[in-house]
Amino acid sequence: MSDEQAVLYGVVLAGGTGTRLWPLSRAGHPKFLHPLTGTEASLLQATVDRLDTLTSPERTFVVTGVAHAAAVSRQLSEVPEENVLIEPSPRDSCAAIALAAAVIARRDPDAIMGSFASDHLIADKTQFAEVIRKAMAGAEQGLLMTLGITPTRPETGYGYLQCGGSVDDDGPLLSVEEFKEKPSYDVAESYVKSGNYLWNAGMFVWRVDVFLAELARQQPQLAAGVSRIAQAWDTAGREEVFGEVWPTLPRISVDYAVMEGAAAVGRVGTIPGDFGWNDVGDFHTLGEVLTADPSGNVVVSSDGDVQRPTVLLRDAESLVVLPQSGRLVAAMGVRDLIIVDTPDAVLVCPRERAQEVKHLVDELKELGHHGYI
């Protein structure tokens, strides 16, 4: 692969509200806009920063919703405003990715694009970039590449990739035979023991022409709609066509819409990655990936004022505390809890039930308390 060909167009998907991180993450200010990285950078900013050796701001695109477009542009001042693609309404990941692919294809029909979630943490940026470069080599060959993460435990919260043999003579590039749904614990354990399964991280690398052709084969309505929008992209009629066509596109994830069917006919490859990936799905996970004190407590503070502490812990272990209201949060004689304090809502729950926080959001919706969502 020559240097001229090895240019990546980076696409970052900035959607969803992260309901398992309520009450920190809200519809109006979702988790990717928050600094949950252990630094001042938001998850979104960290996602774009880690692409800096692979692409340039001019080749970086973000797909987001109307409500978050201004905040996204503010946080990513180096990314050209026209590269922030604003969805009129959420249509799931396939439409978002297809829109970016079609817009990039207009500019550069031979482009290789990478699609990345805006709310993942990655510890080893150098290793991450190396895996992406290997995936780009697979994309050059016409494969739809997905990044697989070497499992470290039988995780029931992730989907899995069932891998076949090596595509490139014992190199790192493996075929993907099947996408597997989130399994039960026993099934996850058997996957990890077999050594033939990787976590599906939802990160993809491919040539835009190959992806759009596969989209047309499997999802002709979606492909035709996105093509119409892209054709009008640089014209005065863009908003009208966008507004007319977008609501008609199927709401479907890219895994269901394209990748599962492509794997079935041998068109999907993967590079196993081991770069400290985490999807920050809930507060317990956040507590596992950020630095803890000697008692195992993790404090994620937006206030660096050491003169006026916002957290006071005594005889407390393995807490995840997010003081976001300016008030003092004090805890004594407790362990394995999540404590989130925001100006209008407080959450306290056991770490082991962190995945269930989204049910509170569902209940608030049913009760009509949308101001808290």
Nearest to 114 by CA among 88, 94, 144, 85: 144
For residue 84, give Cα distances in angstroms to 48, 196, 251. Answer: 13, 38, 21
Full pLDDT tens readout for the chain, 373 residues: 344 445 899 999 998 777 899 999 998 889 999 988 888 899 999 999 999 999 999 999 999 999 999 999 999 999 999 999 999 999 999 999 999 999 999 999 999 999 999 999 999 999 999 999 999 999 999 999 999 998 889 988 888 999 987 777 656 889 999 888 888 999 999 999 888 899 999 999 999 999 999 999 999 999 999 999 999 999 999 999 999 999 999 999 999 999 999 999 999 999 998 898 988 889 998 998 888 999 999 998 764 444 556 899 999 999 999 998 889 999 999 999 999 999 999 999 999 999 899 999 999 999 999 999 9
CB 50 within 8 A of CB 73: no
Question: What is the per-residue pLDDT for 308?
Answer: 58
Quote the Cα angle for 215-237-115, to 5°. Answer: 35
Token pair listed for 13 = 């998907």
pLDDT of residue 165: 77
Beta bridge partners of 273: 149
Q: Report how far residue 191's alpha carbon sits from residue 148's, in angstroms, rounded to the nearest whole number.
A: 13
Pairing of strands 174-180, 268-273: antiparallel
pLDDT at res. 3: 43
Give the 3-state secondary structure of residue 276: coil
**Residues 21-42: pLDDT tens digits?**
999 999 888 999 998 888 889 9
Cβ partners under 8 Å of residue 201, min gap 6: 120, 146, 147, 148, 149, 273, 277, 279
Give dist(CA 299, CA 38) in Å, integer: 10
pTM of the model: 0.89
Q: How many CB atoms lie within 10 A of CB 370?
A: 9
Count, residues in the chain: 373
Other Cβ atoms within 10 Å of 136 Cβ, number: 23
Residue 2 tokens, joined: 């020559």
Please state whether beta strands 112-117 and 8-14 pair in parallel, antiparallel, or not at all (unpaired): parallel
Q: Please list, in sequence order, all residues whose beta carbon lies within 8 angstroms of the beta carbon of residue 182, skipping any fewer than 6 positions away.
A: 156, 157, 158, 159
User: Residue 197's closest CA among 141, 130, 253, 152?
Assistant: 152
Sheet containing 298-299: give its strands across.
Answer: 298-299, 320-323, 337-341, 346-350
Q: What are phi and psi of 4, to 5 degrees?
A: -65, -35
* Token code pair at residue 119: 């709310």
Q: Alpha helices, DSSP H only, in 260-343?
A: 260-264, 283-289
Name the token pair of 54: 């692979």
The predicted structure's pLDDT at residue 6 = 59
